[in-house]
Structure 1
Amino acid sequence: MYNHFLMRHLGIYYMLVASICFAATGAFAKMLSSDMSSIEVVFFRNLVGFILIIIALYKKPLHQKGGRPFLLIFRGVIGTLGLLAFFYNIANINLAAAFTFSKTSPIFTALLAAFIFKEKLSSKGWFAIFIGFLGILFIIQPNLGVSKNDLIGLLSGIGAALAYTSIRELRKYYNTGVIVLSFMIFGTFIPLLCMILAEFYTVSYLDFMLAPFIMPDTKGWIFIALMGICGTWFQIYMTKAYAASRKAGAVAAVSYSDVVFSMIFGLMLGDSFPNFIVFCGIALIVLSGVLVAKEK
């Protein structure tokens, strides 16, 4: 009976493990950010992924239809921009808040699906979007002034939403491995170009995109390795979670647990506990995401 219960909910357990690994990836990124720029963290994070994908594709070459190279480029560029914004927030604000901003992507994805793909949203779907935006207002608190970190946080969510939306079309032409590889290529070389450019030209308000390379010390290399391992485990267990579950919506809803785990890791790293209004905003965005996931 216990084994039957375990197998029935295996996808949920896998997603919990994936969420812990994703939060740990963010925690190691935050620790790295004290010695190097968030751009460099993104570079190393994607470089590890790029190497692993190349090894996997070498063992099992892919065959795909192809035919949408510009959309593939768009996904790579906009996805990398969203990732740069996400890791910049990890370095500069509470870990839980950074993760929550990135979790606004399903809200924007639902809106894009409604207006671009003409998908009909139920009343529950529109309600989820409403409380999601209410949560964003609670976190940003515009009456106190909108900060640069707030805008970059929204950029991380919008960038991820645009990237996810483009994948829907790309899947008709490319294998998943090719889509991931193209993202890793852009996610590695765009930060590299940004670091090279930063050696000659810097702008303070673009510091989430322009910062010079700093050679990691021994501790930095260890954290880079751990970040890469946790990131790989996240991808593995997330894939297992969706493969083992018959209800993708339930698994997607459980993925929001990484906000809780990121809050725990953040507190361990010295983050302050969110104030009541911000905490309510986090809760509303998580609830919004869960409701959107249940719509799938």
Structure 2
Amino acid sequence: MTEQNTSRGILLMAIVTFIFAMQDGISRHLAETYNVYMALMVRFWFFAGFVLVVAARAPGGLRRATRSAHPWLQVFRSVVLIVEVIVMVQSFVYLGLVESHAVFACYPLLVAALSGPVLGERVGWRRLVAIGIGFVGVLIILEPGFGVFSPYALIPLAAALLFALYSLLTRYVGRKDPTSVSFFYTGVVGAAVVTAVGLPYWMPMTPGDWGWMAVLCCTASVGHYLLIKAYEIAEASAIQPFAYLQLVWASALGLAVFDETLEANVVIGGAIVVSAGLFTLWRARLRSIGKA
């Protein structure tokens, strides 16, 4: 992989994190006014349409996109993702963008912790220590021993656990299924599941909010496309650390638009979580090149 391609991959990842952070802000706005199931249903309708168009134009067409070595695992993985999205959007409503993303940033640590039992990978003592330190950061953010602990604080932690499971399952099915197949199942199965849940909650939207919904749908497709391109032109281990930029963008949006506050415990805990996550990614990169 050339330096030029890696640089382009980093740039694309930075753009993707900005797009996803803006999506989180729009999702929070819509979820505060409309039922979260309905809003996600419309979003996944558009996403499923985008996936179908991409699959139809790819070599082998729709027939190839549906051919999986693990069809039921692909379905389960897609269900896990849609549940994670629903949980995370609820977290934005109850806790805001800043605290939600600060806690959610621990998901790479959960991936590292679960990669042993789920994928059979070896997790060394250094990564185990980093995982433990990272969860100390999560506890600092949640402050379970100070004042009245809110159960809402556990919502982004549940979302992080679900996304970690989704990531591990994606890596597992990726051993035999190409990215195009996983992408197809994510869009189509996600749309089917959220439609079954969301249709009873349909409610009219104002023209202005339909505009926001259109922006949300379009940016979702663009964001996922750019993410795929980033992983195509650069090694995942080289660009994955820059995914933490989403915490920066989302926090800035929460402070500027939604009048959220940046508490000292969130800053300290978030810094610990991100540092531990970056260390685990660095150790994973060393293992991939045979230096650890």
Q: Same fold (TM over 0.5)?
A: yes
Give the C-alpha shift of residue 8 in structure 1: 5.3
**How do 1:1-296 residues align onto structure 2 when only pairs under 5 Å count?**
9-60=7-58, 61=61, 63=64, 66-143=68-145, 144-196=147-199, 199=200, 212-245=201-234, 247-294=235-282, 295-296=284-285
Q: Over aligned residue pairs, what C-alpha RMSD do you find?
A: 2.2
Q: Secondary structure at the match of 1:142?
A: coil
Instruction: Tell whether the 8 Å contact from 1:105 to 1:157 is kept in structure 2 after alignment.
Output: yes
Note the C-alpha offset of 1:87.
1.1
- Output the CA distance in 2 between the equivalents of 1:20 and 1:286: 17
Asked if structure 1 preserves the Cα contact closer than 8 Å seen for 2:97 and 2:254, the reply is yes
The alignment partner of 1:273 has SS state of: coil
What is the alpha-carbon distance in structure 1 between the residues aligned to residue 32 and residue 166 of structure 2?
29
Q: Name the counterpart of 1:202.
A: none
Q: What is the alpha-carbon distance in structure 2 between the residues aligned to residue 135 and residue 255 of structure 1? A: 18
Task: Tell whether the 8 Å contact from 2:103 to 2:141 is kept in structure 1 after alignment.
Answer: no
Deviations 1:18-49 (A, max 9, x none): 11111111111122123212222222222221
Deviates more, 1:178-187 or 1:216-225: 178-187
CA distance in 2, matches of 1:288, 1:101: 13
Give the unaligned 5+ runs of structure 1: 200-211
For residue 262 of structure 1, report the CA deviation from its aligned partner: 0.5
Letter in 1 for 2:225: I
Distance 1:47 1:98, change over 3 A: farther
Q: Alignment partner of 1:151: what SS?
A: helix
1:151 to 1:250, Cα distance in 2 relative to 1, 3 A: same
- Give 2:224's aligned amino acid: Q
**Matching residue of 2:288:** none
- The AA in structure 2 aligned to 1:163 is Y
Structure number with higher helix proportion: 2
Rounded Cα–Cα distance in structure 2 between residues aligned with 1:176 and 1:50: 15
Q: Which moved more, 1:131-140 or 1:90-99?
A: 90-99
Distance 1:180 1:149, change over 3 A: farther
Report the alpha carbon displacement of residue 79 of structure 1 after superposing the two structures with TM.
Answer: 1.6
Cα pair 2:84 2:162 within 8 Å, conserved:
yes
1:203 corresponds to: none
CA distance in structure 1 between the partners assigned to 2:6 and 2:122 by the alignment: 31
List per-residue Cα deviations over 1:41-70 (Å, max 9, x = no partner): 222222221110111112221526534222
Name the count of aligned residue pairs: 278
Partner Cα separation in structure 1 for residue 12 and residue 78 of structure 2: 27
Unaligned runs of 5+ in 2: 286-292
Identity of aligned residues (%): 19
Q: CA offset at residue 153 of structure 1?
A: 1.2
Q: 1:10 to 1:281 in 2, by over 3 A?
A: same
Q: 1:75 to 1:92 in 2, by over 3 A?
A: same
Relative distance call for 1:286 and 1:223 in structure 2 (3 A) is same
The alignment's TM-score, normalised by the length of structure 2, stands at 0.87
Structure 1 runs, 4 residues or longer, greater than 4 Å off: 4-8
Partner AA of 2:244 in structure 1 = Y
State the distance in 1 between where 2:198 and 2:3 align: 50
1:221–1:181 Cα change, 3 Å: same
State whether residues 48 and 187 of structure 2, in contact with CA within 8 Å, keep that contact through their aligned partners in structure 1.
yes
Structure 1 position 169, deviation (Å): 2.2
Structure 2 CA distance, aligned partners of 1:87 and 1:232? 18
Q: What is the identity, as a one-letter code, of the residue corresponding to 2:173? A: L
- Report SS of the residue matched to 1:9: helix
